[in-house]
């Protein structure tokens, strides 16, 4: 749609108990795109079952300018409907809300794209619209989504997934990544990067990146020493990270290192290093055109055969299969 004068309509659907950041995160990206372009690229609307103030799960209310019925009438090929996620009680109530489901039915019939953030995927799936589709949601809800809707192909670890006109994303901040991907798809990478910079987004994450990395798991551990080790490995993944090297980095004994990894990460020191390297490799595989053997060298695996074995152990797929499955819709920089 780049170069078109008619703004692309973005309709966010919210409901009582929605997650505030599922709305405000992506909405801010589209609004920033308008400012960066110096013209209205996106006509942004917020709708709810009934127009008016809608309380989010955090208690802050947002004014929905349109009812779901009125917003549905705005949908057409040049529009995107985005359904926000929410806390479980709010989502459960919305599943049985006739106006919500009628809006979603219309979106699948008329809109150019239909998207969800976090548990909004449950609402899109309610009437069978996602049957046979690859989708994602917040990692904590992925197993439940698959159990409730077995006809879906749930990607529990993806930041966002595109399947035809359907875009689904993981929780909360993943909605920002989704919006940036949509902006790039509509226009170009330069605009998406300008929006990311304005909003101090650390990096544009592709859909294939993991929701829950070894780094994040280490940061969440009670003992911060593993987070320090993960940072050191990321800074020099090609280094020979033997047990002795890890112990030197943390100034601990081999026995203490082993206990630390088992207690905090339920893994061995060698497996922890492997997980950090795999996280790095995932990013390079989906965000660059680097050869697989080059990625293997850069991430400390040495050869692509060793990286193949590591991916199969941790993810159940080869690096080439991972790249084919999770290649980002974002256009890669040359």
pLDDT tens track for 149-196: 999 999 877 788 999 999 999 977 889 999 999 999 999 988 988 898
Distances from the Cα of 85 to the Cα of 23, 174, 333, angstroms: 9, 11, 32
Inside any domain, residue 2: no
Domain match, 161 and 22 both:
yes
Domain match, 151 and 220 both:
no
Inside any domain, residue 116: yes
Token pair 């330069």 is found at 190
The residue among 101, 109, 50, 107 whose CA lies nearest residue 82 is 107
Inside any domain, residue 205: no
Token pair 């920033």 is found at 32
Q: Which of residues 143, 167, 198 is at a domain's end?
A: 198
Inside any domain, residue 76: yes
Total domains, the chain: 2
Backbone angles phi and psi of 86, in degrees to 5: -170, 180
Which pLDDT score is estimated for 209? 53
Which pLDDT score is estimated for 325? 66
Inside any domain, residue 204: no
Farthest CA pair distance, the chain: 67
pLDDT tens track for 95-146: 999 999 999 999 999 999 999 999 999 999 999 999 999 999 987 788 899 9
Domain match, 187 and 290 both:
no
Q: Which of residues 149, 171, 198 is at a domain's end?
A: 198
Domain match, 168 and 268 both:
no
pLDDT tens track for 196-223: 888 777 555 555 555 555 665 565 556 7
**The domain that contains 89 carries what CATH number?**
3.40.50.880
pLDDT tens track for 29-45: 999 999 999 999 999 99
Domain match, 233 and 113 both:
no
Inside any domain, residue 138: yes
Domain match, 158 and 31 both:
yes
Q: Which of residues 198, 227, 251 is at a domain's end?
A: 198
Averaged pLDDT for residues 50-78: 97
Domain match, 99 and 157 both:
yes
Distances from the Cα of 104 to the Cα of 25, 88, 171, 172, 190, angstroms: 21, 19, 20, 21, 32
Among 51-55, 159-163, 225-229, 325-329, the minimum mean pLDDT is found in 325-329
Domain match, 260 and 155 both:
no
Backbone angles phi and psi of 82, in degrees to 5: -125, 120
Which pLDDT score is estimated for 70? 97
**The domain that contains 316 carries what CATH number?**
1.10.10.60
Domain match, 267 and 164 both:
no
Domain match, 192 and 218 both:
no
Q: Considering the entire predicted model, what is its pTM?
A: 0.69
Determine the structural domain holding residue 13 and report its residue range. Answer: 8-198
Whether 16 shows a pLDDT value over 60: the answer reads yes
């Amino acid at each position: 749609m780049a170069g078109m004068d008619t703004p692309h309509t973005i309709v966010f659907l919210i409901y009582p108990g929605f997650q505030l950041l599922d709305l405000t995160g992506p909405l801010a990206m589209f609004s920033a795109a308008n400012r960066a372009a110096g013209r209205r690229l996106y006509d942004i609307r917020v709708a709810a079952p009934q127009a008016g103030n809608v309380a989010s799960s955090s208690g802050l209310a947002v004014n929905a300018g349109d009812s779901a019925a009125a917003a549905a009438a705005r949908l057409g090929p040049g529009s995107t409907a985005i359904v926000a996620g929410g806390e479980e009680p709010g989502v459960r109530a919305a599943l049985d809300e006739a106006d919500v489901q009628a809006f979603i039915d219309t979106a699948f019939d008329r809109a150019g794209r239909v998207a969800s953030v976090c548990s909004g995927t449950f609402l899109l799936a309610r009437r069978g619209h996602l049957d046979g589709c690859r989708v994602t949601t917040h990692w904590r809800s992925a197993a439940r989504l698959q159990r409730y809707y077995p006809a879906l192909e749930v990607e529990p670890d993806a930041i966002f997934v595109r399947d035809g006109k359907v875009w689904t994303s993981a929780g909360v901040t993943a909605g920002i990544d989704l919006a940036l991907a949509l902006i790039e798809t509509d226009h170009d990478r330069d605009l998406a990067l300008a929006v990311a910079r304005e909003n101090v987004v650390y990096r544009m994450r592709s859909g294939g990146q993991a929701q829950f990395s070894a780094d994040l798991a280490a940061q969440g551990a009670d003992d911060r020493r593993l987070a320090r080790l993960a940072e050191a490995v990321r800074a020099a993944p090609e280094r020979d990270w033997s047990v002795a090297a890890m112990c030197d980095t943390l100034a601990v004994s081999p026995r203490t290192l082993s206990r630390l990894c088992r207690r905090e990460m339920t893994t061995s020191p060698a497996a922890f290093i492997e997980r950090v390297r795999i996280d790095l490799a995932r990013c390079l595989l989906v965000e660059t055109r680097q050869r697989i053997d080059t990625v293997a060298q850069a991430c400390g695996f040495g050869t692509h055969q060793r990286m193949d074995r590591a991916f199969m152990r941790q993810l159940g797929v080869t690096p080439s299969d991972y790249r084919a499955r999770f290649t980002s819709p974002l256009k890669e920089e040359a």
